[in-house]
Chains A and B, each alone.
Chain A
Amino acid sequence: MASPVDNLHPEIRGIKGDGQQAEDKNQHVEKEGGLSGGERDMAPVTGNSIHRSGSRPLLDLSKAAIQGNFEERDPTILLPNQSDDISHLALDIGGSLIKLVYFSRHEDQSVDDKRKRSMRQRLGFSNGNRRSYPVLGGRLHFVKFETCKINECLDFIHSKQLHRGASNNLPRWHSDGPTNENAIIKATGGGAYKFADLFKERLGVSLDKEDEMDCLVAGANFLLKAIRHEAFTHMEGKKEFVQLDHNELFPYLLVNIGSGVSMIKVDGDGKFQRVSGTNVGGGTYWGLGRLLTKCNSFDELLELTQKGDNSTIDMLVGDIYGGMDYSKIGLSASTIASSFGKTISESKELEDYRPEDISLSLLRMISYNIGQISYLNALRFGLKRIFFGGFFIRGHAYTMDTISFAVHFWSKGEAQAMFLRHEGFLGALGAFMSYEKHGLDYLLAHQLVERFPMGAPYTGGRVHGPPLGDLNEKISWMEKFVQKGTEITAPVPMAPPGTTGLGGFEVPLSKGGTLRSDASALNVGVLHLIPNLEVFPLLADPKIYEPNTIDLSDHRELEYWFTVLSDHLPDLVDKAVASEGGTDDAKRRGDAFARAFSAHLRRLMEEPTAYGKLGLANLLELREECLREFQFFDAYRSIKQRENEASLGVLPDLLLELDSMNEEARLLTLIEGVLAANIFDWGSRACVDLYHKGTIIEIYKMSRNKMQRPWRVDDFDAFRERMLGSGDKKPIPHKRALLFVDNSGADVVLGMLPLARELLRRGTEVVLIGNSLPAINDVTAMELPDIVVEAAKHCDILRRAAEAGGLIVDAMVNTADGSKERSSSVPLMVVENGCGSPCIDLRQVSSELAAAAKDADLVILEGMGRALHTNLNAQFKCDALKLAMVKNQRLAEKLFNGKIYDCVCKYEPSH
């Protein structure tokens, strides 16, 4: 093991108050020439003991410290919404809302050291050079302002210096610096004309007006192609995300409901025609609504509908037929015969009607009418898919239900109304796309990751007030907002989806007495563009691949996992705070993290689809991201270290024991060992309790002794036959095995490493796949080489393989080109998987892993997160072995009808 963090780079500690931050900063600078900001995607895990000082020149670091220190004075760089190297900003200035889409650049931040370079070479992976990607890595941010508060928007742009980036790649840190006269910002929407002078005056930028329709279509096409599960249906209060086949996307009807309504037939990128529209749109709802209810805002008017009853306003079929249905033509008594048909009453005036009822009646009238006209137009052009967007919808459940109902009713189920999660941002995104060379056209779904920062559960993407200055402000905001907002964000029990029968569209689903303005709205996160993510090439059929084993749309499952995560939270906060030295600052950040994550959980309990399609993998990753947001980069660092050390200490004895066995017994013992060692999992409550009862080795031994075949899922015999053959027939060894490892400590050291050794011994190249970023106590790709190096001290097989794989850097340095050294053994390599979650979505893995997979013919997934929660049902093109101990009673019951500590050894030969 390398020296602990406190002894690293002592020169930095003098400059920085916080060693952790300082080192982090340095790494950034090293990679990005000092231009880096603080938002971290694949931010290197720092401060962990495994970094070897030899891998980085100190000179650069000190330089970096100055740069970093300079940046440190502008703490905004620490913020997720704070940008460093801005490329572009685009605007859609509508009548009621201004939508901003801006891009902040963030390179692939993984460390590019010698070790890694040699790994890349070995894998035939030629570069880490971003220029080879058509798009820069970075983030797309989505922000809204009310048009009447355009000054807030201007302040926001100014404070973030968003208007500077367009013409200059270098950030300017002095906001009062000279302005580029030629700066141009792409804009669309009516306000692009109206506010052009204001932008010129305040920010010194010219708005370059883009055609509204062009922008809408470009925005929609991008979202539908690049974002998985962007579209969803909304029927009878139930949201369902739709995965579209990109080859079958076109043609479709895009219905944009702004003040008026445009219906656009879209045949391809840039190929579209406005085929219809209606003047009865969002402006009509808001205009008439304002006249009739005196509401002051669109949202206020929309909110009224939640308590409305339109039967006091509308003439229903039942009113005409004395309560009876007109069943002959399929009209139920509650079908609206005539909108506002009841307000002709002589005895009543406007003041006698409830504004709630009026608003609801108006909303139904307009939504239904739009749905009907849309369907008729879709029918006319033979379009089956209708996407609705525009400011009118706002993720409002009742609006979407009404539109869907109309489309469903008139098409008799043939056509489908779909909505877009980013519906409000179509125009702004399209304007953004109109910049030349943004490269976004080439982005594919697997290169995009959406993350939900701290404010997401509260604001739904809307900005309230000025941007937050630094982490401190952010924490303060969290503290204040949580206090102030408790009653507004209090969880509301989920109501069962309401029923809306034929024509009988009853009162909308109530969300309870208290409701914030956009409670039903979908939350839009920050879109991370990570160009070097790829689809794992060994997936049998990426199109049907679904990472999550358990469907969280089952409400009981959702509730269970929320409870698990909530219960685990205090322990996690303790660990996190301890990992940062238990300082007051760490405690404060820990509290803020707990609040922020609880807020996410509450929001998701209240609206499970608020963040899009939610799987357990997403939920677990959300937690890790939230920790990182509050600068806890590795909460389990010290635990991982301790366990690695303890396990490495007993590894030699274990290897001796194994080497004394015959082939067959050894293979079984190895698999037993992997399963037994998988008991060490800080993510599992049951295991955390176990830790208090014994030492690691005791638990490991006990666990292995308890291994009783047959296991709950037991394909060991098939695996053995593939490995050892039967009778005299000796099978050809695998060429290369990819081992997805799980936890630090015994799990990787006593479980997976011996298995890797066995494969190496049989002539199979081994690639250990670790996380790019920490997640609980999972071992990361950064930590793995040092573990291997340490283990190799006692084992020739591992040493030669590690040398061949370039893991032993010093050896590499000593050898001129290293080629001779390598040839002596099949290599053992380490590759990062591109994610920072205990689970893995194989549609989005690092390009290194994808490269490593090209020659692989065996995949071994280990642990609950990667082999059970996700990928249990994944099919591969090559042989696949899934190994895990089930450390959760409920999961054991649900998946295998089994019980806690059951083992899974699932072997599936190549397809």
Chain B
Amino acid sequence: MDLEVTPAGANSDTRSDARISHLALDIGGTLAKLVYFSGNKKLLNDDRVQSSAEVGGRSSSVLHGRLHFAKFETRKIDECIAFIHSKELGSQHPKELGNGKIVKATGGGAFKFADLFKEKLDVCLDKEDEMDCLVAGANFLLKAVHQEAFTYIGGQKEFVQINQDDLYPFLLVNIGSGVSMIKVDGNGKFERVSGTSLGGGTFWGLGKLLTKCNSFDELLELSQQGNNRVVDMLVGDIYGGGDYNKIGLSSTAIASSFGKTVSANKVLENYRTEDLARSLLRMISNNIGQLAYLTALRFGLRRIFFGGFFIRGQCYTMDTISVAVHYWSKGDAQAMFMRHEGFLGALGAFMSYNKQGPDNFIHLMKQDPKHEPEFDGTAPEEEDSEYASIDCFLDLA
């Protein structure tokens, strides 16, 4: 897919509160993710962008605008509804089914909140399969978006240039509340091969019980300042500080997460919340990394892409996962992360508006460097609910 070059200034009004013409939702157990498109220009047959990349020469309706990304906590679904309400679903929004507007949605919440959306917004949630969406979203991002995937080793982020012919098969690990591991062999060709219930929900849930944090991000923030040695039992703690070389364990390896909190003379309040958060984050990240590697190994997959909202560009998380994959695979397998990690499902749902399938629906314009999300290697991604938007046009054939 060649990226379309838009005329200069074409995106000058994309940051405005333009109406939403297309919206898709991924309502998970913890977070509701939105992908929406706001058009800045309507390109009809008679008003077409004259460019070499005209869409396949077909007579089609093409919308130019930006894809936006937003997230809300699922438990605060009303905020999400209010947000959608404020944006007003535009006239271009497809309304093929029945009376109400149709909104593509995936995730468990698409079922759970269907009635609520009908009532509050008069929209029908058109449910798309969660795995289909995840895979479609990931395939799109990996193929179409420049510098989407990156490795994170030893604090160094490095973008990975992916040869599209060499993309498949890969393991997609989506870390939401729980974790799904999907072996992807091509467009629409995939299988959920594994998963674990120790995921983002566990981090947040246990973390909340242990630290009384009020938000996921606060918990992540705490973990930045913690020292897990106070909480975890290290190999050195068991073997009197020496490495257990015989089996290749260094004295700083964690022998047992939370293994030190069995101490009889301390209670929860005696531990620093930072340390608890750190230990928890490491336990879960490491476990996911290990399971992902073992699953990849099983199917002979060398590339593992991690997505989902748990990661949030968190350096420590990514580092732990990378180290786990590296350690267990002895360097054979590589953990890769994605800039739009949290929106795979929502993007996939969005792409399902195209009746012909996800291909050739979203066409990217050349990405504007000033909207590139910034990864400086230490700070999490931008904190506001709006994630880096993507300049593109939609082929509404």
Contact = CB atoms under 8 A, between A and B. Distances in A.
Interface string B303-343: 00000000000000000000000001000000000000000
B295 interface: yes
Interface string B266-292: 011001000010000001001100110
A707 B334 CA distance: 83
B196 A320 contact: no
Interface stretch (B1-9, B105-113, B385-393): B105-113
Of the listed residues A288, A379, A380, the one surrounded by the most CB atoms of chain B closer than 10 A to its CB is: A288
A302 interface: no
Contacts of A274: 247-248
Contacts of B328: 276
Contacts of A259: 233, 238, 255-256, 259
Contacts of A652: none
Given A315-B178, A343-B205, A376-B291, A281 B256 contact: yes
Nearest to A294: B267
B380 interface: no
A150 to B, nearest CB: 14
B206 A343 contact: yes
A278 B290 contact: yes
Interface string A668-681: 00000000000000
A283 B294 contact: no
A746 to B, nearest CB: 66
Of the listed residues B202, B209, B210, the one surrounded by the most CB atoms of chain A closer than 10 A to its CB is: B209
Contacts of B261: 287-288, 290-291
Contact of B112 (A95, A190, A284, A322): A322
B58 interface: no
Contacts of B206: 288, 339-340, 343
B197 A337 contact: yes
Nearest to B129: A328
A279 B283 contact: yes
Contacts of A340: 201-202, 205-206, 209
Contact of B29 (A262, A290, A337, A410): A337
A329 B201 contact: no
A274 B202 CA distance: 28
A281 to B, nearest CB: 5
Contact of B205 (A260, A324, A344): A344
B240 A376 contact: no
Contacts of A176: none
A463 interface: no
A67 interface: no
Contacts of B248: 274
A324 B127 CA distance: 14
A313 B248 CA distance: 37
Given A291-B267, A320-B28, A344-B201, A280 B209 contact: no
Given A260-B255, A343-B208, A373-B294, A319 B198 contact: no
A336 B267 contact: no
Interface residues of A, number: 65
A320 B200 CA distance: 14
B178 A341 contact: yes
B232 interface: yes
B264 interface: yes
Interface in B196-226: 196-202, 204-206, 208-210, 212, 214, 216
B177 interface: yes
A163 B130 CA distance: 64
A262 B248 CA distance: 12
Nearest to B205: A340
Contact of B209 (A296, A322, A329, A350): A350
A220 B279 CA distance: 33
A213 interface: yes
Contact of B259 (A283, A324, A349): A283
A283 B234 CA distance: 11
A377 interface: yes
B108 A317 contact: yes
A349 B212 CA distance: 7
B201 A315 contact: yes
A148 interface: yes
Nearest to B112: A322
A358 B208 CA distance: 13
Interface string B68-97: 000000010000000000000000000000
Contacts of B28: 320
Given A213-B246, A338-B201, A292 B268 contact: yes
Interface string B176-199: 111000000000000010101111
B178 A336 contact: yes
Contact of A338 (B112, B199, B255, B297): B199
A315 B177 contact: yes
A314 interface: yes
A291 B258 contact: yes
A73 to B, nearest CB: 42
Interface stretch (A364-372, A595-603, A882-890): A364-372
A751 interface: no
B31 to A, nearest CB: 10
B177 A95 contact: no
Contacts of A365: 197-198, 202
Nearest to A338: B201
A287 B262 contact: yes
Contacts of A313: 205
A372 B196 contact: yes
B262 A95 contact: yes
A365 B30 CA distance: 18
Interface in A145-167: 148
A211 interface: yes
B271 A320 contact: no
Nearest to B113: A322
A662 to B, nearest CB: 78
B209 A353 contact: yes
Given A314-B197, A322-B108, A372-B291, A284 B129 contact: no
A372 B195 CA distance: 9
A347 to B, nearest CB: 9
A755 to B, nearest CB: 64
Nearest to A258: B256
Contacts of A132: none
B256 A260 contact: yes
Contacts of B129: 328
A68 interface: no
Nearest to B210: A291
A775 to B, nearest CB: 48
B298 A380 contact: yes
A283 B258 contact: yes
Interface in B24-77: 28-30, 75
B177 A337 contact: yes
Interface string A250-280: 0000000011101000000000001010111
A586 B291 CA distance: 63
B131 A260 contact: no
B215 to A, nearest CB: 9
Contacts of A290: 261-262
A119 B67 CA distance: 98
A133 interface: no
A784 B290 CA distance: 67
A292 B262 CA distance: 11
B366 interface: no
A279 B232 contact: yes
A346 B29 contact: no
B244 to A, nearest CB: 9
Given A338-B178, A339-B198, A283 B268 contact: no
15 contacts: A260-B256, A279-B254, A287-B262, A288-B206, A313-B205, A315-B177, A320-B109, A320-B177, A326-B108, A341-B197, A344-B208, A349-B212, A350-B210, A365-B197, A380-B298
Given A276-B290, A284-B283, 9 more contacts: A283-B258, A287-B231, A291-B210, A315-B178, A322-B113, A337-B29, A341-B205, A346-B214, A369-B287
In the A-B complex, the 7 residue pairs with the smallest Cβ-Cβ separation, listed nearest first, are A320-B108, A341-B201, A338-B201, A283-B259, A283-B256, A340-B205, A287-B258
